Amino acid sequence: MVDFETQYRTRTPASFRLYEEANRYLPSGVAGNGKFMRPYPVYIREAQGSKVWDADGNQYVDLLMGSGVHILGHSPRPVVQAVHEQLGHGTHLYMPAEYEVRLAEKICQHMPYIEKVRFVNSGTEATMMALRAARAYRQRDLIAKFEGNYHGQHDTVLISTLGTSGGEEYPSAHIDCVGIPQMVTQDMLILPFNETDYVASKIKEHAEEIGAVIIEPISAFGLGCVAAEVDFLKALREVTAEHDIPLIFDEVVTNFRLGLGGAGEYFGIKPDLVCLGKIIGGGFPVGGYGGRGDIMDKVVAKTSGVWDLTEQIFQSGTFSGNPISMVAGLAVIEELEKEDVYQSLDEKTERLKSGIVEMGEEFGFDLLVTGLSSFFQIHFGIDELRNKRDALREDKTISEMFHLGLRANGIIANAHPLFLSTAHSEEDVQAILEATGKVLSQMKPSL
């Protein structure tokens, strides 16, 4: 039987030593659940372009790319230069500065459905504040969200993302981990992803109670890079607009990944509020939320001499709009503006995805590759993936074995959305395909 774990351990003894040391100080030896990989993580010492190097000096082609942050690759020169220059002028100001104005201007220019935007420090904070703004605008508490959609880790939205409750056609709220109060579920309406008729009828039924509907246009971390169907999004837009319910697009992953216009432009759907993150910080901590000017002015902007917190939300943050994240994000967007990088990047990703599918067929695996643009995910044991109930039927054991095999053969990947960047070359694509073929060929005799 193939033993990828032995191969991996043989390759990464320094990472194992760091892992043992880290466990003395860090739960599971990492700073967040998403960083852990079995049997232990690879500890990285350097990252440049499409490559990372671990504590043992091994080189890898990186497919995680900072969890989707690095569309230009690791440490792109324009970003490094912009940050280096800013370091000499201040690392943290608290007071507003021109950089946040310029980044906001760029975002609103390219995503005209965002008329005004506020910066925060993470995607989780972005969704939390967008929901608060929507509830304040509507003066309603009920939030409608979709099974398998991941909107961060605050209590309101870590519901029915990782698990499910209720029937497939009639889902109910599922608390995804301990520590979340049961009472949170009282203000959640859980809906099945990509089920148009049911969703439209449920929103109509609860229209007078709903404060917001939040959705990932492409459900990434909780579902596996599954796009919302266009007719489904159109119906969702129609029913929410009919009842003046704010429709929130969670574009923490998709902003500037699908194109300069984000998911709203890609799908031709205009949301009321949008959540931003990842790429807009250029590799530094960031989040953002914004949308319709009337909503942002009514419940976010200061409209009188004092903040009226009976009408407006409270949102602030010591590091919100910090100059390092702002100049880094601005540098990334300016690079994306210089030429149409998206066509070549998307074509390169499509060649990689097609090659992986072909290898799955060659070695007799029931393998499915999902995704749009330059991000994707590899699944085993299913031939269709439209919603969370489909995802639960995936063979996680084979998936985990496959991704461990990739790491043992020089590719940083796990059962997680995977990303290409402009720094990935055709040689990198070929290296990924060669590693994929090697791993699948070794897996076949053991299954």
Rounded CA separation 326/321 (Å): 6
Q: Which of 144, 295, 130 is nearest to 207 (CA)?
A: 144
Q: What strand order describes the sheet that includes 59-62?
A: 44-48, 51-54, 59-62, 411-412
Side chain identity at 115, as an amino acid letter?
A: E
Peptide bond into 246 cis (omega under 30): no
Question: Looking at residue 191, what DSSP letter applies?
Answer: E
Secondary element (H or E) of residue 369: strand 367-372
Q: What φ, ψ does residue 72 adopt, rounded to 5°?
A: -100, 5
Cα dihedral across residues 27, 29, 34, 36: positive or negative: negative
Provide the angle, in degrees to the nearest 10, between the axes of the packed helices 4-11 and 13-22.
80
Active site residue 388: no
Active site residue 150: yes
- Go through 181-190 and write b for each residue having 16 or more CB atoms within 10 A of its CB, e for each that does not: eeebbebbbb
Beta pairing, strands 375-380 & 418-419: antiparallel
Active site residue 8: no
From the list 106, 145, 278, 388, the catalytic residue is 278
From the list 62, 113, 116, 250, the catalytic residue is 250
CB-CB contact of 332 with 72 (8 Å): yes
User: Which residues lie closer than 8 Å to 246 by C-beta, 6 or more apart?
Assistant: 133, 134, 137, 138, 211, 212, 213, 240, 272, 273, 291, 292, 295
Side chain identity at 330, as an amino acid letter?
A: L
Rounded CA separation 134/166 (Å): 27
User: Which residues lie closer than 8 Å to 318 by C-beta, 6 or more apart?
Assistant: 94
Return the number of other C-beta atoms located less than 10 Å from residue 137's C-beta: 23
From the list 8, 43, 137, 150, the catalytic residue is 150
Catalytic residue set: 150, 250, 278
